[in-house]
């Protein structure tokens, strides 16, 4: 116990932790996580390849069990876990991880779906053909060797690496306080870049990029733009956007499908498919009817079948935004230079590799030169022996021992120890004339070789040319075409709207809150009094409440009876057939159960200067607010105005202060008010009285009017009438107003009012889903108190539900 006490050294714990962590950090940085700039390998990769080479498992030899290789690596070079070592071998063999795999595996080595490799006892491996180039000439003293972990073996500090592996296969690793992430590149392009640098040491990175276009990932896919590549190559850091290769295909049934044939680097295919399925299930991507992974040995093929009514380009754009189908690769080109971590740009990475290759050629040349000189030295001794063969035979016969003979040869003929030994070892058959000739020929060739090798060592240009020649031979032997296609130009985020054709559409909403979109051309014009065509499938409990003519790119503001506002783009409303009932609006908007949308307006620019929104309620309250107050509408909606108990929002219109509004009631009263006389109020304000209502009367609508416009009213029994707006004088708000139309039991109450120019088409929809489109000029202009004319023939229990205006249709269909 006393002896142990004498061995204890007291240290400050802070100092000890600092020193220990520093040692650990440097060990991780230098010995584990970061690759050497010269061969692009981390120690574990280098040891695995060296072990393959020492075991003779080259590409032309039979495979051997992976377990045997793992055991060899662990026992002699890498004293770490077997699973980590095997995992490294597996990754070196995966063609979706390595651009040029360094291990040739046989058996299950995992898949791009994230499936793990089979146990090492089942798989077999050997070096790939290209990996043999990494170790070429390693036995010619081309690299420094060092003791292994227990001092019983030697291992290389770096490999000769005839392949520019750092850029060709890339590397990634997390050290302490730093990380590296280098993308793979095309072998031919990288070699072209190295050759260009060798020819012109002052070459710019921009010029190098004419040779090395950008990363070339094993999984292919597209690289979007060059800005990220340029930044990465100039600074060593940058972000490169990768996008899967896709195509939109037409199916026999008229539907379309999206087919994915290439995915971004390091994206798990199975997880990508799962993500797409999740988005479709959660309705974050609408319109997916089937999803299949049809991938095989021929390649990747993910099929996404779509509904007829969806825009395939919009779905694809959302896949880019919401799934790893579009991903980024963060470049961080850190590697060890002379054992020190350094952030490298493209030129620096190529320079250090080029210098390494020059050193390899010089050291190999020195090795070959020494070998040639040693052999020439022996041949010189043999020549001397042949010239003095009788004396030498006599000397050897007269010697009692081999040592005496050797000493005599050295002394008498001025030979070296090696030359004397070679003479003693010479067989008698070498005394023939033919053998003498062979010795002379070999000696002559060796002297020429020695001269050539010495010339290489004396001329740097020759070293550079040898490096270039050998690299170009590698390119010729292993080079292949680029897999990742670079899409030129600035990369901007593509919005769904950019993919939607701008066209006129009709949006309808039923009383039961079913909504749909149709092309405006769906409904052809008919003569006044026609019976119309079916616009949607309804039932006895549902009918059309609102119909809006707008553009696919317009902002559609949905106002509810509870005074809230929601927004969609026109194209976001599902396009359906004319007879379809639509989809529940709650599938598109997060409205509450008690809410009902009862006013819809379309606006092209929500920031339009000088434009206001004016609101009217069932109780005759009006409010004017700035349009910009409604520009940023959350998905959950916003309060549009404050309502009294029992009141509800009836209509909302866009207006300027130069315009007038006309409020119309169900019993045929109307009041015209100048918008400037209504003060602008905040978004959540209540508003002021617009019209005083009679008994059992209520507001049914509001329109913006001016002297050029006329007023159209339509009753529930299909009676329509046009009046001149000049018949209605502007008065102060709050009055009872004047008659706009004569309301009787025959006409029924007024259900709609529209401000018209007179050159539009009128679309009338019934509560049973029948729609008629008529030229509005066929409706008579009558006095303010007149009854009007029939605009639609109603049958059975049909009632007019709503009307809307549309651009004039040139074609007419008479019934």
Q: How many CB atoms lie within 10 A of CB 389?
A: 14
Strand (E) positions, 294-414?
Answer: 302-306, 326-332, 334-337, 340-343
Q: State the Rg of the chain over Cα.
A: 44
Q: Same structural domain for residues 313 and 383?
A: no
Check pLDDT > 50 for residue 541.
Answer: no
Instruction: Select the more confidently predicted residue: 323 or 3.
Output: 323
User: How far apart are alpha carbons 690 and 702 in whole angstroms?
Assistant: 11
How far CA 225 is from CA of 243, 313, 323, 485, 488, in Å, comes to 11, 20, 20, 10, 5
User: Based on the domain organization, do 319 and 370 belong to the same domain?
Assistant: no
Three-state DSSP at 170 gives: coil
Contact 765, 803 (CB under 8 A): yes
Token code pair at residue 222: 């597209």
Domain for residue 416, yes or no? yes
Residue at 768 is within a domain: no
- Are 272 and 152 found together in one domain? no
Residues annotated as catalytic (active site), given as ranges: 122
Could you give the CA distance from residue 304 to residue 258 in angstroms, rounded to a whole number?
A: 5
Which residues, 6 or more positions from 423, have their beta carbon under 8 angstroms from its beta carbon?
Answer: 381, 382, 385, 392, 409, 415
Are residues 69 and 156 both part of a single domain?
yes
**Claim to verify: residue 297 and residue 413 sit in the same structural domain:** no
**Alpha helices per DSSP H over 282-342:** 312-322
Do the strands 738-739 and 750-756 form a parallel or antiparallel pair, or are they unpaired?
unpaired
Q: Residue 743, class by beta-carbon neighbours within 10 Å (0-12 exposed, 13-18 middle, 19+ buried)? A: buried
Distances (CA, A) of 213 to 137, 230, 346, 713: 31, 10, 12, 67
561 vs 516: CA distance, rounded Å:
20
Residue 329: pLDDT band with limits 50, 70, 90: very high
User: What is the rounded distance in angstroms from the CA atom of residue 687 to the CA atom of residue 777?
Assistant: 36
Find out whether 244 and 273 touch, Cβ atoms under 8 Å: no
Give the C-alpha separation, 573 to 568, whole Å.
Answer: 7
Query: ∠260-262-264 over CA atoms, to 5°?
Result: 115
The yes-or-no verdict on residue 685 having pLDDT over 50 is: yes
pLDDT, tens digit, for every residue of 749-795? 999 999 898 888 888 888 887 888 888 888 888 888 888 889 899 88
Q: What is the mean pLDDT of residues 588-612?
A: 84
Find out whether 236 and 183 touch, Cβ atoms under 8 Å. Answer: no
Residue-level pLDDT at 18:
74
Alpha-carbon distance of 500 to 317, in angstroms, equals 11
Question: Residue 488: CB partners within 8 Å, gap ≥ 6?
Answer: 225, 226
* Same domain (yes/no): 65, 129: yes
Residues 40 and 152 in one domain: yes
My answer on whether 318 and 440 are in the same domain is: no
Tokens of 580: 């379809």
pLDDT surpasses 70 at 813? no
Overall pTM > 0.75: no
Check whether 431 has a pLDDT greater than 90: no
In a domain, 652, yes or no: no
Domain ends where: 434, 455, 478? 478
Task: Provide CB contacts within 8 A for 744, sequence distance 6+.
Answer: 787
Range name among 121-130, 313-322, 408-417, 797-806 with the lowest pLDDT average: 797-806
Residue 140's pLDDT band (boundaries 50, 70, 90)? very high
Domain hosting 432: range is: 361-478
Q: Which residue has the higher pLDDT, 322 or 633?
A: 322
Contacts of 89 (CB under 8 A, 6+ apart): 48, 66, 69, 70, 103, 105, 125
| 487 occurs within a structural domain | no
Would you state the pLDDT for residue 199?
96
**Within-domain flag for 742:** no
Asked whether the predicted pLDDT for residue 549 surpasses 80, the reply is yes
In a domain, 801, yes or no: no
Residue that is last in its domain, among 115, 139, 161? 161
Mean pLDDT value across the chain = 89
Indicate the range of 124-128, 288-292, 720-724 predicted with least confidence: 720-724
Examine the domain organization and report whether 311 and 365 are in the same domain: no
Among the three residues 324, 349, 378, which one is the final residue of a domain in this structure?
Answer: 324
User: What is the CATH classification number for the domain harbouring 397?
Assistant: 1.10.268.10
Residues 375, 463, single domain; the answer is yes
C-alpha 330/C-alpha 325 separation (Å) is: 16
∠ CA 152-157-160, nearest 5°, is: 125
pLDDT category of residue 587 using cuts at 50, 70 and 90: confident
Query: Do the domain assignments include residue 229?
Result: no
At 279 the three-state DSSP class reads: helix
Q: 407 and 463 share a domain?
A: yes
What 3-state DSSP class applies to 473? helix
Indicate whether 306 and 370 sit together in one domain. no
Q: Please state the domain count of the chain.
A: 3
Q: What share of the chain is helix, strand, coil (3-state, %, to 5)?
A: 35, 25, 40
Helices (H), 29-161: 43-54, 66-76, 82-93
CB 173 within 8 A of CB 164: no
Task: Classify the phi-psi angles of 490: left when phi > 0, otherwise alpha if psi is within -120 to 50, otherwise beta.
Answer: beta
Is there a domain that residue 453 lies in?
Answer: yes
Helix (H, G, I), strand (E, B) or coil at 248: strand
**Cβ count near 6 (within 10 Å):** 6
- The residues, any chain, with a CB within 8 Å of residue 284's CB and separated by 6 or more, are 318, 322
User: What pLDDT, on the 0 to 100 scale, is given for residue 5?
Assistant: 60
pLDDT band at 814 (very low <50, low <70, confident <90, very high): very low
Instruction: Output the domain CATH number for residue 94.
Output: 3.90.199.10
Q: CA-to-CA distance for 246 and 258, rounded, in angstroms?
A: 7
pLDDT, tens digit, for every residue of 87-117? Answer: 999 999 999 999 999 999 999 999 999 999 9
SS3 331: strand
């Amino acid at each position: 116990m006393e002896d142990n006490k004498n061995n204890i050294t007291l240290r400050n714990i802070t100092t000890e932790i600092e020193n220990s962590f520093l040692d650990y950090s440097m060990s991780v940085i230098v010995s584990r996580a970061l690759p050497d700039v010269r061969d692009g390998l981390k120690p574990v990769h280098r040891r695995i390849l060296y072990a393959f080479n020492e075991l003779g498992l080259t590409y032309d030899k039979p495979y051997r069990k992976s377990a045997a290789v793992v055991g060899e690596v662990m026992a002699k070079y890498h004293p770490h876990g077997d699973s980590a070592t095997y995992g490294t071998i597996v990754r070196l063999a995966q063609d979706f991880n390595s651009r040029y795999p360094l291990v040739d595996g046989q058996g299950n080595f995992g898949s791009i779906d994230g499936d793990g490799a089979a146990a090492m006892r089942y798989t077999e491996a050997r070096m790939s053909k290209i990996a043999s180039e990494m170790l070429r000439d390693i036995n010619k003293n081309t690299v420094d060797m060092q003791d292994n972990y227990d001092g019983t073996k030697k291992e290389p500090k770096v490999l000769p690496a005839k392949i520019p592996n750092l850029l060709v296969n890339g590397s990634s690793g997390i050290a302490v306080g730093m990380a590296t992430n280098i993308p793979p590149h095309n072998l031919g392009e990288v070699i072209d870049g190295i050759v260009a640098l060798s020819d012109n040491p002052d070459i710019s990175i921009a010029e190098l990029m004419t040779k090395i276009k950008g990363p070339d990932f094993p999984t292919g896919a597209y690289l979007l733009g060059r800005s990220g590549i340029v930044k990465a190559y100039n600074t060593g850091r940058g972000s490169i956007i990768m996008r899967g290769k896709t195509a939109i295909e037409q199916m026999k049934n008229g539907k379309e499908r999206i087919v994915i044939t290439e995915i971004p680097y390091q994206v798990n295919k199975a997880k990508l498919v799962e993500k797409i399925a999740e988005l479709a299930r959660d309705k974050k991507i609408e319109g997916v009817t089937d999803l299949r992974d049809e991938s095989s040995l021929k390649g990747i093929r993910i099929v996404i079948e779509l509904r007829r009514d969806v825009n395939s380009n919009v779905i694809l754009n959302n896949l880019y935004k919401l799934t790893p189908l579009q991903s980024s690769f963060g470049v961080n080109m850190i590697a060890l230079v002379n054992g020190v971590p350094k952030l490298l740009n493209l030129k620096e990475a190529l320079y250090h590799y080029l210098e390494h290759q020059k050193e390899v050629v010089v050291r190999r040349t020195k090795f070959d030169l020494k070998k040639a000189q040693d052999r020439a030295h022996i041949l010189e001794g043999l020549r001397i022996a042949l010239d003095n063969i009788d004396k030498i035979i006599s000397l050897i016969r007269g010697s009692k021992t081999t040592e005496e003979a050797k000493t005599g040869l050295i002394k008498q003929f001025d030979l070296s120890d090696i030359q004397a030994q070679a003479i003693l070892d010479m067989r008698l058959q070498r005394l023939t004339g033919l053998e003498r000739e062979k010795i002379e020929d070999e000696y002559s060739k060796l002297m020429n070789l020695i001269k050539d090798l010495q010339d290489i060592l004396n001329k740097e240009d020759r070293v550079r040319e040898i490096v270039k020649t050998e690299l170009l031979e590698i390119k010729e032997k292993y080079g292949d075409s680029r897999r990742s296609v670079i899409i030129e130009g600035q990369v901007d985020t593509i919005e769904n709207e950019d993919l939607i054709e701008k066209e006129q559409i009709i949006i309808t909403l039923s009383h039961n809150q079913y909504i749909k979109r149709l092309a405006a051309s769906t409904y052809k014009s008919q003569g006044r009094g026609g019976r119309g065509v079916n616009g949607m499938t309804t039932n006895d409990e549902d009918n059309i409440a609102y119909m809006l003519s707008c553009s696919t790119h317009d902002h559609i503001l949905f106002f509810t009876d509870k005074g809230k506002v929601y927004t969609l783009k026109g194209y976001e409303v599902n396009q359906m057939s004319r007879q379809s009932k639509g989809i529940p609006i709650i599938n598109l908007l997060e409205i509450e159960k008690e809410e009902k949308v009862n006013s819809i307006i379309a606006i092209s620019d929500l920031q339009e200067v000088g434009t206001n929104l004016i609101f009217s309620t069932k109780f005759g309250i009006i409010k004017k607010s700035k349009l910009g107050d409604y520009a940023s509408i959350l998905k959950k909606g916003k309060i549009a105005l404050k309502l009294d108990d029992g009141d509800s929002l009836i209509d909302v219109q866009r207006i300027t202060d130069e315009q007038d509004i006309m409020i119309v009631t169900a019993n045929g009263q109307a009041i015209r008010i100048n918008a400037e006389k209504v003060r602008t109020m905040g978004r959540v304000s209540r508003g002021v009285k617009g019209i005083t209502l009679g008994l059992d009367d209520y507001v049914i609508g509001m329109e913006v009017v001016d002297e050029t416009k006329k007023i159209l009213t339509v009753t529930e029994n299909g009676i329509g009438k046009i009046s001149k707006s000049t018949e209605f004088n502007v008065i102060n708000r709050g009055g009872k107003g004047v008659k706009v139309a004569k309301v009787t039991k025959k006409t029924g109450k007024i259900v709609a009012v529209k401000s018209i120019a007179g050159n539009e088409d009128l679309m009338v929809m019934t509560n049973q889903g029948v729609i008629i489109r008529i030229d509005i000029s066929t409706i008579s202009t009558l006095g303010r108190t007149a009854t009007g004319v029939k605009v639609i023939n109603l049958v059975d229990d049909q009632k007019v539900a709503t009307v809307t205006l549309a651009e004039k249709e040139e074609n007419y269909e008479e019934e």
